[in-house]
Amino acid sequence: MEKIVEELRPFFEPNAVAIIGATDKKGKVGNVIFENFKMNKERGIFKGSIYPVNPKLDEIEGYKVYKSVAELPGDTDLAVISIPAKFVPSTMRDIAKKGIKSVIIITGGFGELGEEGKRMEREILEIARDNGIRVIGPNCVGVYVPDTGVDTVFLPENKMDRPESGPIAFVTQSGAFAAAMLDWAAGAGIGIGKMVSYGNKLDVDDADLMDYFIHDDEINVVTFYIEGVKDGRKFIEAARRITQVKPVIALKSGRTEYGAKAASSHTGSLAGADTIYDAVFKQTGIIRAEDFEHMFDLAKAFAALKNKLPRGERIGIITDGGGAGVMASDAVAKFGLKMASLSEESLEYLKEHFPPHAVAGNPTDVVGDTDAQRYKYAIEAFVRDPNVDAIVVIVLFQVPLLDEMEVIDILAEYAEKSEKPIVAVAMGGKKTEYYAKILEDKGVPVYPTPERGVRALAGLVQYSRYLERIKG
């Protein structure tokens, strides 16, 4: 097994977790984390053992409490620490003696709070390095893995929903962002296979996680919310490795300029932190997201269409509303893509099956009196046409003669059998959302506006071009 997989595996699927600082006081961090594991154990999701550690307690809700790290059973392979910062270094020494190799330090109050904190961080890191221990944190919410029941997110379930499992990994420095994002993803129906919040990033960093996810079959898209990178070269190398096999999407905050003050050359004054990150992302094939929404629009597209990357940039648009078609065409230009020009054969095929008032072309407008069959002819033509690389199907479910379930089944069928990526756009309110969800559950990414659908496809095109470039 790869070394990195061996090292990080216990964070995601431990045999036995020690919760250091577990308590019976409701709402305390050490209690929420214990409850998370306990509930997941009761649900049959968490299969490992749970060992609370607290010198002042004998048992919590039927679980035996260990007085010290030294007393822990020998199968403990993950320690989650939520005790005050000043006790963490000595606890790390106990952990080292016990031979536990994976530690999540939830506790805050380290490097982010000044010199003494930084000194403690250095001490912790030294113990970790000397004993081959990997550390996530400190000052973080840790790890969430719905499939294995690992959940160190100290925001209780009654306050924060957890997303279902899915092929997307999400990595972030910020704990607050992690919590908000998980809650939001749960609401939006986006599946998250693994979430890591690494806080001060004392040890395990973006590069380590990228290397781990290369080998993780459960994950096929990796998303990062990046505030800063410590070791730039290590980041670049790891990014180059993973993007060869899996798409990586990054949202980078802090677009402030720093160049002007430090630089004495003209070039230096033109180089902001942001321009450098842009360069790094371009050279490593990382897709940069503009914002939170864009990141998950991309993640959704990649999760469904990773194996159907477009061969080119020629987009075909099918719509049942002229305005929506125009919006999509505008977006094609805006995001640097091209409108496909349909082959003669496709045009003839469409004219043959369309009533005279429907528009064969690009966009193809099946118009407001469409039924599901008209969509089928259009999609069939676009899928067959060699001049079309990717397809946007806009469905305004509101039109009177359209059987919603029939058109959903047609879309799902073509999305499955076509080698070209197909995304759907459904604009509307509650009723539309209802059908969009059904369509999405059948594996077709659905977007609420033409612009967002096309922008997601642009991400696929960008990644596809990168792969072509590196593979020559």
> Shortest gap between Cβ of 338 and other proteins (angstroms)?
16
Task: With contacts defined by CB under 8 A, name the span among 130-138, 267-275, 309-317, 367-375 that binds other proteins.
Answer: 267-275
Q: C-beta of 243: minimal distance to other proteins in Å?
A: 15
Q: In what side-by-side order are the strands of the sheet with 49-53?
A: 49-53, 16-20, 78-81, 102-105, 134-136
Q: Does 271 bind other proteins (CB under 8 A)?
A: yes
Nearer to other proteins, 187 or 268 (CB): 268
User: Which C-beta is closer to other proteins: that of 23 or that of 464?
Assistant: 464
Question: Near other proteins by CB under 8 A, which window of 109-117, 149-157, 280-288, 441-449?
Answer: 280-288
- 90 or 275, CB closer to other proteins? 275
Closest separation between CB of residue 327 and other proteins, Å? 25
3-state SS, residue 221: strand
Among residues 1, 26, 158, 267, the one that binds other proteins under rule CB under 8 A: 267
Amino acid at 366: V
469 binds other proteins (CB under 8 A): yes
Peptide bond before 363: cis, by omega within 30 degrees of 0? yes
Per-residue x/- mask for other proteins, residues 221 to 260, rule CB under 8 A? -------xxxxxx-xx----------------------x-
Question: Hey, how many other C-beta atoms are within 10 angstroms of the C-beta on 108?
Answer: 20
Closest CA to 453 of 308, 329, 345, 291: 329
Q: What is the C-alpha separation between 356 and 257, in angstroms, rounded? A: 57
Helix residue ranges, H only, 192-272: 206-214, 232-243, 259-262, 266-270
Closest distance of CB 472 from other proteins, Å: 9
* Out of 265, 344, 400, 430, the residue judged to bind other proteins by CB under 8 A: 265
The sign of the dihedral angle between the CA atoms of 104, 106, 110, 111 is positive
18 binds other proteins (CB under 8 A): no
Using only the alpha carbons of the chain, give its radius of gyration. Answer: 25
Angle in degrees, CA 280, 469, 276, rounded to 5: 10
Stretch that binds other proteins, among 68-76, 211-219, 265-273, 378-386 (CB under 8 A): 265-273
**Two tokens at 168?**
């997307």
Tokens linked to 238: 């790891």
Window contacting other proteins (CB under 8 A); options: 7-15, 278-286, 303-311, 347-355? 278-286
Q: How many residues bind other proteins (CB under 8 A)?
A: 26
Binding mask 108-127 for other proteins (x = CB under 8 A): --------------------
Strand partners of residue 331: none
Please identify which residue in the block is written with the tokens 């020690």.
18
> Beta strand 364-365 with 287-289: parallel, antiparallel or unpaired?
unpaired
When the beta carbons of 34 and 277 are compared against other proteins, the nearer one is 277
User: Per CB under 8 A, which region of 124-132, 181-189, 268-276, 307-315 contacts other proteins?
Assistant: 268-276
Calpha distance 9→436 (Å, rounded): 36
The footprint of other proteins (CB under 8 A) covers: 228-233, 235-236, 259, 263-268, 270-271, 273, 275-276, 278-280, 282-283, 469
